[in-house]
Amino acid sequence: MRAAVQFLWPWAGLAAAFLLAPVVFSSPTALTMESVMGIMIIFALSYNMLLGQTGLLSFGHAVYYGLGGFVAIHAMNAVIHDRLAVPVVVIPLVGGLAGLGFGILFGLVSTRRAGLVFSMISLGLGELVSSSSFILRGFFGGEEGVTTNRAKLAPLLGLKFGPQIQVYGLVAVCCFLCIAAMYALTRTPFGRISNAVRDNPERVQYIGYSARRIRLIAFSLSAFFAGVAGGLAAINFEIMNAQQLGAQQSGVVLLMTYIGGVDTFVGPILGAIIVTFLQINLSDLTSAWQLYFGLMFIAVVSFAPGGVAGLLFRHWEAARSGAWHRLAPAYAMVAPGLVAALIGVVMLIELGNRRLTDEGSPMTMFGVAIDPSSIAPWATALGLFAVGAAATRLLWPKVADAWALVDKGLQARGRA
């Protein structure tokens, strides 16, 4: 009974989150954002099937998302053209099957090796497909892409999927099913042997498995889920263009997954939510938002290789063992310097951006009117950054010491 509750509550929580999201944040923009988040969660999780679980670093994963989306959108147009009785609900599956097909095809080529060779082939295949979109204009629609109208497909139970809320419903259901399916996959013997292929392919061969076949299966399944995400994107945006399968999109999914954390199952979900939120909201706040994005990625790679999820889990463990009293003072000592340094960096970027793009016209920052062509704000920003960075550097050992103690305590508990 206890086990059943322990197993069920995260899923009940997830379902509740999907149900409550459009109720709590119900504005049209929020609804669009929630739909995109659902799509990106599937996409990022599918990417982590490769990176986190099988140890394959791909630079061309958007190919399967994009091709899934293109096939889905052509399928939708065909349905509209021939007036077939096919509802929108089937389309994500069409995208998924397209992703699966291309995944098997390209997987046969690229999963023969792991490591850097795999990465480079994925990069090459990604460039190959995205450059051929300028040649095969019939399929990819050239510069402007292919458009469709989801409301013209056959209704299902009276739902026409015209309004955004209905699309969100579809995305939410698909997303929930995909999360469940991908989580279940990690619990199967196949999921475990994928982890073994990531950690030690040689031993996998010794116990009688073909590492290459495992990689191919993982790759094809991951392409299937990426294709489902692409199919949902086709329904949501009603347009597909070559950018959706290019290097930029492949980079975004890598960023999302890594920022969220590749070591845990929930990491990519968090990453997809955070990055989508930032993509949509940060771009309203500042024109330099992509710069912050890149800096954030570098910070995660350098200081938190486990991503946001890794950080959360560590703190959760520490909190459960009651070690907060050790960490809190150390954090309190570091926080002022760290915050000052961050504010300094943000000010420098914003001042520079203003100076360079708008010829240094006056601006407001943190609610204060500032003249970027005068010296004072620059000096403040530099000062904040320099002092903050120095203080952080000086005091950081306290945090490291506190963590060392906490880890020791956790280890001792683990042994007991």
Partner 1 sequence: MLEILAFSTLNGVLYGMLLFMLASGLTLVFSMMGVLNFAHVSFYMLGAYFGFEIERRLGFWPGFVIAPIAVGAIGAAVERFGLRRLHRLGHVSELLFTFGLAFVIEQLVEMIWGKLPVDYRVPPSLDFVAFRLFDTTYPAYKVFMLATAVAMFAALFVVLKRTRVGLVIQAALTHPEMVAMLGHDVPRVFMLVFGAGAALAGLAGAIAGPALVTQPTMAALLGPILFVVIVVGGLGSLAGAFVASLLIGLVQTFAVAMNGSLAALFGPVAPPGLGDLWQVTVAQLAPILPYLLLVVILIVRPTGLMGTRET
Q: Would you tell me which residues interact with partner 1 (CB under 8 A)? A: 57, 109, 112-117, 119-121, 123-125, 127-128, 131-132, 134-139, 247, 251, 254, 258, 288, 290-291, 293-295, 297-298, 301-302, 305, 352-353, 356-357
Q: Please list, in sequence order, all residues whose beta carbon lies within 8 angstroms of the beta carbon of residue 78, skipping any fewer than 6 positions away.
A: 84
Q: Please list, in sequence order, all residues whose beta carbon lies within 8 angstroms of the beta carbon of residue 30, skipping any fewer than 6 positions away.
A: 22
- Least spacing, CB of residue 158 vs partner 1, in Å: 38
Nearer to partner 1, 129 or 178 (CB): 129
Q: Please list, in sequence order, all residues whose beta carbon lies within 8 angstroms of the beta carbon of residue 232, skipping any fewer than 6 positions away.
A: 38, 39, 42, 92, 95, 170, 171, 174
99 vs 225: CA distance, rounded Å:
7
Nearer to partner 1, 150 or 354 (CB): 354
- Least spacing, CB of residue 55 vs partner 1, in Å: 9
141 vs 244: CA distance, rounded Å:
12
Nearer to partner 1, 204 or 323 (CB): 204
- Least spacing, CB of residue 218 vs partner 1, in Å: 17
Per the CB < 8 A criterion, the answer to whether 52 and 211 are in contact is no
Nearer to partner 1, 173 or 196 (CB): 196
- From first CA to last CA, the distance across the chain in angstroms is 26
Q: How many CB atoms lie within 10 A of CB 223?
A: 32
- Least spacing, CB of residue 172 vs partner 1, in Å: 31
- Least spacing, CB of residue 349 vs partner 1, in Å: 8
Nearer to partner 1, 88 or 300 (CB): 300
Nearer to partner 1, 84 or 301 (CB): 301
Give the residue ranges of DSSP H helices in 25-61.
Answer: 28-51
Q: Please list, in sequence order, all residues whose beta carbon lies within 8 angstroms of the beta carbon of residue 241, skipping any fewer than 6 positions away.
A: 140, 141, 143, 144, 145, 146
Nearer to partner 1, 302 or 364 (CB): 302
62 vs 68: CA distance, rounded Å:
10
216 vs 143: CA distance, rounded Å:
33
- Least spacing, CB of residue 45 vs partner 1, in Å: 19
- Least spacing, CB of residue 298 vs partner 1, in Å: 4
